[in-house]
Amino acid sequence: MKITHVTANHRKRAFEVQAGGVRYEFPFAKLRLEPSAVDPVAEVFVDSELGNEAFTYRLRSGAEDSVHLDAVLDVVKDPDYLRDLLLHRLAVEARKGLEASGLSKRQVARQLGTSPSQLYRLLDPANRRQSIGQMLALLDLVGREVEVIVRPKAASAGAESGR
């Protein structure tokens, strides 16, 4: 995904980033180099040198930094980005598990009831089309245990208990 437009919204104290037809807000507070009233954002632009996958901002003082789209998607908790990140981590673990298991790829594909080419797609961390069910079956087969933990967010935990 590429960033198509970015602006600094000083009133909201956030960058407004347009990418993939969606507008995201990235708060100034999440920046390494945070603008202030004394040193505000003087310029912001989609950075073509970074493949239009990041934006660069410059403060009045001349200090500058860049923010990659992945950082924006992580901060706003984009569900597609979080799913892709989870699948990437699972694929990396599946590759490690397969190497450690001593099983051949053909044997694993047969036990999963799939083709070798589909197994290669499952093992590819860059592939964003794997199903979580297939990944869990593969991880179990190569001796990896997956635990899913669901708990309230830290901020909402206090609110739920009446604090």
Q: Which of 108, 111, 19, 120 minimizes the C-alpha distance to 67? A: 19
The residue range of the domain holding 85 is: 79-141
Residues 29-84 pLDDT 10s: 999 999 998 999 999 999 999 999 999 999 999 999 999 999 999 999 888 888 88
Q: Which of 125, 121, 118 minimizes the C-alpha distance to 96? A: 125
Whether the per-residue pLDDT at 157 is higher than 70: the answer is: no
Is the same domain home to 104 and 70?
no
Question: What is the model's pLDDT at position 61?
Answer: 95
Residues 116-145 pLDDT 10s: 888 998 898 888 788 888 889 999 999 999
Residue where a domain terminates, one of 48, 75, 102: 75
pTM above 0.75, yes or no: no
Is the same domain home to 63 and 99?
no
Residue 20: pLDDT band (50, 70, 90) is confident
Is the same domain home to 96 and 42?
no
Give how many domains the chain has, as a whole number: 2
More confident residue, 9 or 82: 9
Is the same domain home to 23 and 36?
yes
How many whole angstroms separate alpha carbon 163 and alpha carbon 157?
9
Residue where a domain terminates, one of 75, 91, 110: 75
Residue 88 within any structural domain of the chain: yes
Is the same domain home to 66 and 93?
no
Tell me the mean pLDDT in the region 13-41. Answer: 94
Are 108 and 98 within 8 A, CB to CB? yes
Residue 161 within any structural domain of the chain: no
For the stretch 25-39, what's the b/e string if a residue is b when 16 or more beta carbons lie within 10 angstroms of its beta carbon?
ebebeebebebeeee
Is the same domain home to 15 and 35?
yes
Residue where a domain terminates, one of 57, 75, 93: 75
Residue 154 within any structural domain of the chain: no
Give the helix/strand (H/E) hosting 3.
strand 3-9
